[in-house]
Amino acid sequence: MLKTSPIGPFLETQGYLILDGGLATELENRGQNLHHRLWSAKLLISDPDQIRKVHLAYLHAGANCIISASYQANLQGFMAEGLSRKKAELLLKNTVKLAQNARDAFLESKRNQITSDLTPLIAASIGPYGAFLADGSEYRGKYTLSSAALRSFHQSRWEILAQTSADLFACETIPSLQEAEVLREIIDQTPDIYVWISFSCSDAGHINDGTSIQKAVSIFEGCKQVVSVGVNCTAPRFISMLIKKIMGSNLQIPIIVYPNSGETYNAEEKKWQGTTDPLDFSQLAKEWYKLGARLIGGCCRTGPDHIKFLKRVLSNPASF
């Protein structure tokens, strides 16, 4: 049986929930080379404490929720690296444990301070099938895969992460209607797990496979486990219009947005191009909040400074 939505206390107490920023971005800023099919998940094998340190940095920056390093971590990917299934399962579970360790350290550091009674949340990342392919498919949403095969891919990771103490699941960077439909089926069959759904969008009205954002979010109508719907890993310039379109749908649940920095990704060269300013990002977030977004953070190419400025803006009503 479902307990109270984990995001409810944050929205009731402060009116918003601040997410973290890009995990891989901050790992790279700290000198980690992530040019690998597993991307940030490769550090789960070689140096997992680096992931814990980034989670902790986001908590100190003001994040109310940190997302586990399971976005590109899956059984198939680990086993392709020569690991046993048992080892792959342990690594997946460890993504949540690392986040827990970071949260414990953060709470301990604040033990003697007057702080909110709200305990930061841990969201277990459920990345798209395209992330496993490591060829930029999540930016296109065109899979040559049956729904049954796609369901099998997601089911194995889902069942393992369901054994952890994550507060909820983050089904993120979803680029296609087909994948959304598969995830809805899995959600319906695991009624004790809360979930948010965030799509990756190619413009101000469509997810990456060309489906309208209104049709995409409508897949989750009537699903009590879905606590928020929205977009991530999408250019900031599209976010306001996407919020308006989602607000016009029949879903009466909070909207989540955590766009990338506005830079563009070259999938062939595996490089980001352009620049970003954390202060500019936080100023845009004021508009997103006014339009109805209540869960706000950053995705690729955003870091702790983006979250720090975001918290400063959202916690100051006078700035609106």
Please say if the pLDDT value at position 223 is more than 80: yes
Write the DSSP symbol of residue 169. E
Region 195-209: mean pLDDT is 97
Region 190-198: mean pLDDT is 96
**What are 109-168's pLDDT values in tens digits?**
988 775 668 999 999 999 999 888 877 777 788 888 899 999 999 999 999 999 999 999
Region 67-88: mean pLDDT is 89
Question: What is the spatial distance between Cα 128 and Cα 278, in angstroms, rounded to a whole number?
Answer: 27
Give the pLDDT confidence score for residue 267 in this predicted structure. 59
What average pLDDT does the chain have? Answer: 90
Which is nearest to 233 in space by CA: 17, 7, 18, 21?
Answer: 21
User: What DSSP string describes 175-233?
Assistant: --HHHHHHHHHHHHH-TT--EEEEE-BSSSSBBTTS-BHHHHHHTTTT-TTEEEEEEES
Q: In terms of DSSP bridges, do strands 121-126 and 65-67 run parallel, antiparallel, or are they unpaired?
A: parallel
Write the DSSP symbol of residue 262. S
Reported residue count of the chain is 320
CATH code for the part of the protein at 18-31+39-315: 3.20.20.330
Both tokens of residue 165?
Answer: 């103490």
Q: What band does 274 get if pLDDT is binned at 50, 70 and 90?
A: very low
Taking the domains of the chain in order of start, what are their residue ranges?
Answer: 18-31+39-315
How far are the Cα atoms of 46, 84, 277, 285 from residue 69, in angstroms, in the given order?
14, 19, 25, 25
